[in-house]
């Protein structure tokens, strides 16, 4: 009996036997069972088998992750249970929690603008530093022009969020932008300077002055510049209106009549209802987070700082950006999450000590590039390539960031501008009204975090009895790192980048199959990222396995749960065994039609033989990527 047959028998026995299997199908890496009684399956025993990578329960299925050899196991099970046929799950898929869905939504809405938001914030922070030091006059033309550049994105944030929110909800992008523009139109602030018609909700936390009315309905005008929540809520509502308008308007008149109806309904509704409610919610959120923080600022700052390393590892860090933006917009600063911005300097301290402590030039050259990038605020290469390979460095990083956070809590430090990282983070902690004790405390905390990281790493960072490996293995690891040869994998498609940790499928997000990145496609074409051989292509073409000429084994998985489409909406231009050239068209698919059917079209690019390499690093983590542009670095 072969290994696949033995594994098939083991799986059948421990999923509760043949009688407990209702149906079975498979995709590129996993078996997808629908069991009559899931409780009968012995999950821990299944996970313990060396031929099984993991067990995942989701979408109404009991999924056993095998890897790229799944087809052989599937066929072996089919030989033993002939009645089984690949079938689509007929049950209503189980959804993720509402909180998880909300966090994912915010992450995808904010991710495209974060790089530019950081750049413009950096400009504002530097201007604060220059004026505080007396090196630049606020009345000068130079200051005014640079301030316009730095302030433009955050001031008109609702317009940009109108675009990204409409894109997320797959509604008209320009309607989203118009709604955002309405929120920040100068006439809104002009009307708020006029006479007060009446006061609503007097004596409550939401007391509001009425300056205007719409069709005799009171309009609760708010200052929406730099706000986030109102724009997101408004564009979400507009998307619903647009959908109903398309149903009721003849298709011939869609071009102009649907936007007209959508805007005439959505914009007044936003100013009358949605905007005020969203603004109140944002204000309450800011006050609540601040109240929690004030219970013990030192402990809160220390905990946030200490856990930030792990937030990044699990892809949770972007979910906190809206809190920071909301607090800055409503309070003028963020005190709650201020500790997290010490992290790049802490990583820089760890890496600097690692470079100075290295005895060989090869070792220094392996870590030096990651130190430089962290110095300027890009921590991922140092975090994933150096720190996470050594348990002591992980602990030092956590403790040092926690120290910086606790000190910020002690001094009551505030973060005023969402700006740059690393060395560029200092201006963001300076009060625009003048350097004060809070600002001084932040400088002390940042310096303490860097110093603690450097000193602890220099004296305790490497041990002959490392918790991860012995002396000889440490030596081999450093020799491997010193070589630091890279193979660049270009993007097989054009779209918006999504961190693998944010993909709504834990087999991919937890790296069970391998490391990589995801892209939400803008075009329905998959091109060959490199020369190689098609080792596998799933019937229908939603998943492709490629072995490149350099030996990298790639999996391109188009969409999530698209195995259920059985090829519908896909056109494959290749067959298993084909020799392919870089840039060759592999598969075509209809992004919009499949998305309208309810499928998440996030496309995964994974190196399935990750274990053979030192690391797999995304060359870019946010924004857009064009087909053929560098996407992944395979470090060996």
pLDDT bucket at 551, cuts 50 / 70 / 90: confident
CB 477 within 8 A of CB 469: yes
**522-546 confidence digits (pLDDT tens):** 889 999 999 999 988 877 788 898 9
**466-502 confidence digits (pLDDT tens):** 333 334 444 444 444 344 456 889 999 999 888 888 8
Q: What is the pLDDT of residue 399?
A: 94
Distance CA 91, CA 496 (A): 31
Look at 57-61, 562-566, 623-627 and tell me which has the smallest mean pLDDT: 57-61
Q: What does the domain layout of the chain look like in residue ranges? A: 3-80, 158-280, 296-482, 486-635
Q: What is the pLDDT of residue 89?
A: 37
Judged against a pLDDT cut of 90, whether residue 259 lies above it is answered with: yes
Mean pLDDT of 593-598: 84
Output 420 or 208, whichever has higher pLDDT.
208
Judged against a pLDDT cut of 80, whether residue 465 lies above it is answered with: no
CB 226 within 8 A of CB 247: no
DSSP 8-class letter at 286: H
Q: Please enumerate, as own/partner, the contacts of 39-44 that have beta carbons within 8 Å and a separation of 24 or more.
A: 40/15, 40/16, 41/14, 41/15, 41/16, 42/14, 42/15
Judged against a pLDDT cut of 90, whether residue 144 lies above it is answered with: yes
Judged against a pLDDT cut of 60, whether residue 630 lies above it is answered with: yes
Q: What is the pLDDT of residue 407?
A: 94
Say which of 14, 27, 182, 542 is annotated catalytic.
Answer: 27
Beta strands across the sheet bearing 570-572: 525-527, 585-589, 570-572
Indicate left, alpha or beta for 490 from its phi (over 0: left) and psi (-120 to 50: alpha): beta
Class in CATH terms, 3-80: alpha beta
* Residue 56: closest CA among 92, 27, 32: 32
Domains 3-80 and 486-635 share a fold: no
Beta strands in 542-599 (DSSP E): 543-548, 553-558, 570-572, 579-580, 585-589
**226-248 confidence digits (pLDDT tens):** 777 889 999 999 999 998 998 88
What is the CATH code of the structural domain delimited by 486-635?
Answer: 2.70.70.10
Say which of 14, 26, 317, 557 is annotated catalytic.
Answer: 557
- 3-class secondary-structure state, position 11: helix
Judged against a pLDDT cut of 70, whether residue 570 lies above it is answered with: yes
Q: What is the pLDDT of residue 2?
A: 77
CB 58 within 8 A of CB 95: no
CB 499 within 8 A of CB 315: yes
**383-426 confidence digits (pLDDT tens):** 655 786 678 888 999 999 999 999 999 998 998 887 767 788 88
Look at 37-51, 123-137, 335-349, 368-382 and tell me which has the smallest mean pLDDT: 368-382
* Residue 49: active-site member: no
Cα atoms in the Cβ-side hemisphere of radius 13 Å centred on 244: 9
CB-count exposure of residue 321 (10 Å: 0-12, 13-18, 19+) = buried
Distance CA 347, CA 371 (A): 8
Average pLDDT, the chain: 81
Judged against a pLDDT cut of 80, whether residue 274 lies above it is answered with: yes
* % of the chain beyond a pLDDT of 70: 84
Look at 171-185, 366-380, 569-583 and tell me which has the smallest mean pLDDT: 366-380
Going from the C-alpha of 421 to that of each of 117, 176, 204, 429, the distances in angstroms are 12, 30, 40, 12
Q: What is the pLDDT of residue 464?
A: 38
* Residue 557: active-site member: yes
Q: What is the pLDDT of residue 469?
A: 38
Output 83 or 150, whichever has higher pLDDT.
150
Judged against a pLDDT cut of 90, whether residue 175 lies above it is answered with: yes
């Amino acid at each position: 009996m072969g290994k696949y047959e033995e594994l098939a028998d083991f799986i059948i026995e421990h999923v509760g036997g043949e009688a407990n299997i209702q149906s079975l199908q498979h995709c590129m890496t996993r078996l997808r069972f629908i069991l009559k009684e899931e409780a009968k399956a012995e999950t821990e025993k299944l996970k313990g088998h060396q031929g099984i990578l993991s067990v995942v329960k989701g979408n109404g299925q009991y999924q056993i992750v095998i890897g790229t050899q799944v087809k052989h196991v599937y066929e072996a099970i089919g030989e033993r249970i002939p009645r089984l046929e690949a079938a689509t799950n007929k049950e209503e898929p189980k959804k993720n929690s509402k909180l998880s869905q909300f966090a994912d939504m915010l992450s995808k809405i904010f991710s495209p603008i974060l790089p530019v938001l950081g750049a413009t914030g950096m400009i504002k922070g530097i201007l604060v530093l220059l004026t505080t030091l007396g090196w630049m006059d606020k009345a000068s033309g130079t200051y005014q022009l640079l301030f316009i550049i730095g302030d433009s994105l955050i001031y008109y944030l609702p317009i940009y969020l109108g675009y990204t929110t409409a894109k997320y909800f797959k509604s008209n992008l320009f309607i989203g932008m118009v709604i955002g523009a309405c929120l920040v139109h100068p006439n809104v602030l002009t009307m708020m300077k006029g006479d007060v018609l009446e006061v609503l909700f007097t004596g409550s936390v939401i007391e509001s002055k009425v300056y205007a009315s719409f069709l005799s309905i009171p309009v609760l005008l708010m200052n929406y510049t730099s706000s986030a929540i109102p724009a997101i809520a408004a564009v979400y509502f507009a998307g619903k209106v647009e959908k109903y308008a398309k149903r009721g308007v003849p298709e011939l008149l869609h071009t102009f009549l649907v936007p007209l109806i959508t805007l005439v309904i959505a914009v007044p509704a936003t100013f009358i209802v949605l905007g005020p409610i969203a603004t109140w919610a944002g204000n309450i959120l800011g006050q609540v987070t601040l109240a929690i923080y004030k219970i013990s600022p030192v402990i809160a700052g220390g905990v946030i700082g200490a856990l930030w390393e792990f937030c990044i590892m699990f892809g949770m860090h972007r979910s906190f950006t809206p809190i920071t933006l909301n607090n800055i917009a409503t309070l003028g600063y963020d005190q709650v999450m201020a500790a997290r911005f010490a992290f790049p300097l802490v990583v820089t301290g760890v890496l600097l000590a690692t470079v100075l402590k290295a005895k060989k030039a090869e070792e220094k050259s392996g870590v030096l590039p990651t130190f430089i990038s962290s110095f300027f605020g890009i921590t991922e290469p140092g975090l994933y390539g150096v720190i996470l390979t050594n348990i002591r460095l992980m602990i030092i990083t956590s403790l040092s960031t926690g120290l910086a956070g606790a000190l910020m809590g002690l001094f009551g430090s505030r973060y005023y501008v969402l700006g740059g990282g690393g060395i560029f983070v200092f201006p963001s902690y300076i009060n625009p009204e003048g350097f004060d004790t809070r600002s001084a405390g932040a400088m002390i905390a940042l310096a303490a975090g860097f110093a603690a990281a450097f000193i602890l790493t220099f004296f305790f960072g490497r041990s002959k009895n490392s918790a991860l490996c012995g002396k000889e293995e440490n030596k081999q690891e450093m020799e491997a790192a010193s070589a630091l040869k890279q193979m660049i994998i270009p993007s097989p498609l054009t779209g918006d980048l999504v961190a693998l940790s944010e993909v709504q499928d834990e087999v991919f997000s937890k790296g069970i199959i391998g490391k990589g990145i995801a892209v939400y496609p803008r075009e329905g074409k998959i091109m060959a990222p490199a020369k190689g051989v098609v080792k596998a292509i799933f019937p229908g073409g939603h998943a492709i396995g490629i072995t490149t000429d350099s030996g990298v084994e790639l999996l391109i998985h188009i969409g999530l749960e698209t195995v259920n489409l059985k090829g519908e909406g896909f056109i494959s231009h290749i067959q298993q065994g084909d020799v392919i050239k870089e840039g060759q068209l592999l598969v075509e698919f209809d992004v919009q039609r499949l998305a309208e059917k309810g499928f998440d079209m996030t496309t995964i690019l994974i190196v399935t033989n990750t274990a053979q390499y030192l690391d797999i690093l995304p060359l870019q983590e946010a924004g857009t990527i064009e087909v053929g542009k560098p996407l992944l670095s395979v470090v060996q």
